[in-house]
């Protein structure tokens, strides 16, 4: 992972893709180039989908947030373009119809937290801690997704004070899914478990979660009805029922 001319490393092992933030000398601070690399990769994965994605970072740390050095002397037009790209990338991460599992080991700041909470499952070590430091450097923090994840009161506490949240508190409030000794191993294990499930059902479940959050109960119910009805026509549903009848593990093929 020493080749920092490649700010994002992308690999694929069968049905599992890995995205690695790769700017370790600046603790994976996010440059405009890295944002563009993430966006391009997500667009490619949308058309050639794995069953699960692991989001990780080259040590040390997870992500120090936006690259402030890139901001020094930057004109307002560049600043607007970069933050617009950032929000577009975060929307694509959250909307991608593939589960994303984050492995977090070390500090996540600002955009680093936003990247982490854009994953569906988030495994972090005790060495991890989290902060939105934007107000300490005179810019506003993004708020809407953090409010969804931890609730208004806790989001206000983090966003308005710029304080650090340690990993054990992050687990208690739901910022992370689970506190683990080895985030890489936990993420890899979860990715393997997800990859063994029926891909279409997993995709529809992720979509239903976000419809529930963004639109509401009625829309989520209608989406679920359509999903169950369509599932009855799939090869994987027939395989699941056959495996149940024959008392064996199913083998899903994504059709």
- Across the chain, which has 255 residues, the per-10-residue mean pLDDT values are 78 97 97 97 95 97 95 91 96 95 98 98 98 95 96 97 98 98 98 96 93 91 92 92 93 90
pLDDT at position 1: 43
Domain limit, last residue, from 152, 179, 195:
195
Q: What is the CATH number of the domain that holds 41?
A: 3.90.226.10
- Long-range contacts for 216-222 (Cβ within 8 Å, ≥24 apart)? none
Whether 64 is covered by a domain: the verdict is: yes
- Residue 117 has a CB neighbour count (10 Å cut-off) of 23
User: In 10 A of CB 148, how many CB atoms?
Assistant: 15
Residues 222 and 188 in one domain: no
Tokens of 218: 């009625």
User: Using CA atoms, how far apart are residues 211 and 216, in angstroms rounded to an integer?
Assistant: 6
Q: CA end-to-end span of the chain, whole Å?
A: 36
Q: State both tokens at 37.
A: 């690399």
Domains of the chain: total: 2
Residues 191 and 206 in one domain: no
Domain assignment present for residue 119? The answer is yes
Give the domain extent around 242. Answer: 199-246
Final residue before a domain boundary, out of 162, 179, 195: 195
Task: Please say whether the dihedral angle defined by the alpha carbons of residues 43, 186, 102 and 148, taken in this order, is positive or negative.
Answer: positive
Q: Provide the pLDDT for residue 92.
A: 96
1 is a domain residue: no
Query: Is 86 contained in some domain?
Result: yes
Residue 218 lies in a domain: yes
Q: What is the pLDDT of residue 22?
A: 98
Q: Which of 173, 17, 182 is nearest to 101 (CA)?
A: 17
Please list the residues that pair with 65 across neighbouring strands: none
Choose the final residue of a domain: 172, 195, 218.
Answer: 195
Identify the pLDDT of residue 2: 47
- pLDDT of 4 reads 63
Q: Helix or strand or coil: residue 30?
A: strand
Distances (CA, A) of 176 to 20, 68, 139, 180, 246: 19, 26, 25, 10, 38
| pTM, two decimal places | 0.93
Structure tokens at 149: 């994840």
Predicted local confidence at residue 114, as pLDDT = 98
As a whole number of angstroms, the distance between CA 126 and CA 157 comes to 21
Q: For residues 176, 178, 184 and 185, what is the CA-based torsion angle, rounded to 10 degrees?
A: -160
Instruction: Answer yes or no: do 162 and 242 share one domain.
Output: no
């Amino acid at each position: 992972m020493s080749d920092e001319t490649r700010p994002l490393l992308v690999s694929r092992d069968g049905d599992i893709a890995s995205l690695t933030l790769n700017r370790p000398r600046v603790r994976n601070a996010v440059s405009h180039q890295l944002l563009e690399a993430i966006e391009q990769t997500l667009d490619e994965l949308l058309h050639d989908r794995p069953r699960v994605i692991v989001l990780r970072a080259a040590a040390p740390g997870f992500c120090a947030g936006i690259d402030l050095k890139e901001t020094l002397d930057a004109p307002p037009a560049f600043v607007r373009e970069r933050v617009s790209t950032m929000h577009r990338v975060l929307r694509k991460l959250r909307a991608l119809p593939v589960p994303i599992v984050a492995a977090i080991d070390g500090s996540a700041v600002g955009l680093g937290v936003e990247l982490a909470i854009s994953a569906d499952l988030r495994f972090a070590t005790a060495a991890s801690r989290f902060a939105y430091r934007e107000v300490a450097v005179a810019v506003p923090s993004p708020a809407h997704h953090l409010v969804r994840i931890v609730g208004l009161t806790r989001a206000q506490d983090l966003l308005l004070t710029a304080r650090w949240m340690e990993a054990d508190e992050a687990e208690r409030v739901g910022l992370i899914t689970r506190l683990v000794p080895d985030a890489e191993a936990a993420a890899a294990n979860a990715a393997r478990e997800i990859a063994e499930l029926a891909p279409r059902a997993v995709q529809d479940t992720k979509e239903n979660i976000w419809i529930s959050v963004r639109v509401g109960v009625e829309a989520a119910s209608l989406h679920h009805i359509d999903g169950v009805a369509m599932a009855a026509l799939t090869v994987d549903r027939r395989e699941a029922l056959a495996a149940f009848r024959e008392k064996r593990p199913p083998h899903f093929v994504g059709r």
